[in-house]
Amino acid sequence: MTTYFVSRHPGALEWATEEGIQVDELITHLDTAIIAPGDRVIGSLPVNLAAEVCQRGGRYLNLSLQLTPELRGRELTIEQMRACGACVEEYRIERLR
């Protein structure tokens, strides 16, 4: 089982490290074909990719933040992430046909 952290933001990885989140592989883009049953994917994925992770037997843990409008689209520091309530929350997502 592998834990992937999907992000292109250095502050997010720094935050995860300081929070003690164990990561096997840091990636900036997720190809869902690599996901095996039991793998964990941490990040802020589009819902269709998160659903694919779950469909393949992986676990999706969303990096959740309560961003203010002025912080959207900006690189955040660890302090800003904490101020925005950064946390990892597990979701099980299923695409309905």
The per-residue pLDDT for range 5-36, each reduced to its tens digit, is 999 988 898 999 999 999 999 999 999 999 99
Domain that holds residue 67: 3-91
| Separation in Å, CA 11 to CA 1, 77, 83 | 25, 5, 13
Q: Is the pLDDT of residue 97 over 90?
A: no
Report pLDDT digits (tens) over 27-69: 999 999 999 999 999 999 999 999 999 999 999 999 999 998 9
pLDDT digits (tens, 9 = 90+) for 63-94: 999 998 998 888 899 999 999 999 999 999 99
Is 18 inside any structural domain? Answer: yes
Query: Does 97 fall in a domain?
Result: no
Q: Is residue 96 part of a domain?
A: no
Count of domains for the chain: 1
Tell me, yes or no, whether 55 lies in a domain: yes
